[in-house]
Amino acid sequence: MSRLQSKTAIITGASSGIGKATAERFSTEGAVVICADIKKDAVKEVVDHINKQGGQAYAYHLDISNQDEVMKFANEMKEKFGTIDILFNNAGTDTEGGRLHEYPVELWDKLMSVDLRGTFLVSKYLIPLMLEEGGSIINNSSVSGLAADLDRSGYNAAKGGITNLTRAMAIDYARNGIRVNAIAPGTIETPLLDDLMGSKAGKKFREAYKWVDPMGRLGTPEEVAGVVLFLASDDSSYVTGEYVTVDGGHMAYTWPGKMLNEKL
């Protein structure tokens, strides 16, 4: 039997990258997949593809930073499905902002609003649909929530907040049968990489990254989706309040050493 047979799963930020790969993987494992994203046309394409492959998926437009929209979405989920089994808080954004004294306040507010507040809002209004039967929540944090990046203090703070919010949610709802865990991806091959750096700089980054990553390459969305599937399924039934790094071993060392000058 498929690991998510007859489960109902909600994925935010499902139009591309990790969210898209997870939606497709969940579908192949038997789940009914609700794909929510601020990019209306793109998320519809993902859903159309899943349905053509024989799955069952639904597309919803959602700005996770907008409380009214999240409340409306949660009400629609209750009316249509009654309960949900899995929530993957994947949606987020990232932008370089400079050193802290140079950091634009409006950028700080945007990152907090989307990445941290959005995770809070979606969880707050959808958890009631899990209280009776339990379920699994997976929050998308980042290795940037465990260590810091140059000129990205807002992103670091937001993702660090998600990591500890995950722990708080886990202990709040453990007796309700709701498990809450986080993933902490490293640099993954998604459209966001080129959006942040531009295609030319992105190409140079990919070439350089193989010298500082123990596995010598970027991760793929499908590899992250496999970890999300584990946390969503009963295979992780005694795991809660944890974060799992998916980074090719990047967080396992303090200095790349010989990786900088020797072929892998």
* Angle at 253 (CA atoms; ends 241, 149), nearest 5 degrees: 75
* Residues marked as catalytic: 155
Nearest to 247 by CA among 170, 164, 178, 184: 184
